[in-house]
Amino acid sequence: MSVIVDLADLSKTLAEFDRGYLLTSKDGLVKAVSARAVVAGGQLVVACPGRGSVANAGANPSVTLLFPPPGGTGMTLLVDGTAEVAGEDVRITPTGAVLHNPVA
């Protein structure tokens, strides 16, 4: 089951989650790194995710942020977006977000 998150409410929804994962890809390979995203000016900013993630985001701006449910139970937040590299940081403009709960 998935519940669409209105992007206008994303900041509020994101506040319910802690650390997540930034998923980037290059040449068909997905890279996942632990990340904390902060909302700034309508974008999600991931500070210093690492050289590989920054390089991937520069080569392929389609990224996903995945936030597991707090405490291990509940819904996972998935945010798709378009990334831009800003020095050592990745700034993501969200294009869609869902809360996902696997079917039992």
For 32-81, the pLDDT digits (tens) are: 999 999 999 999 999 999 999 999 999 999 999 999 998 878 899 999 99
Residue 103 scores a pLDDT above 80 = no
C-beta of residue 65 within 8 angstroms of C-beta of residue 21: yes
Q: Which structure tokens are listed for 88?
A: 């050592």
Q: Say how many CA atoms lie within 13 Å of 31 toward its Cβ.
A: 18
Superfamily of domain 2-100: Electron Transport, Fmn-binding Protein; Chain A (2.30.110.10)
Res. 102 pLDDT band, cuts 50 70 90: confident
Cα 28 versus chain centre, distance: 19
Q: Is 44 left (phi over 0), alpha (psi -120 to 50) or beta?
A: beta
Domain boundaries, the chain: 2-100
pTM of the shown model: 0.94
| pLDDT on residue 22 | 98
| pLDDT on residue 1 | 83
Q: Which structure tokens are listed for 49?
A: 């995710």
Q: Which structure tokens are listed for 18?
A: 């802690």
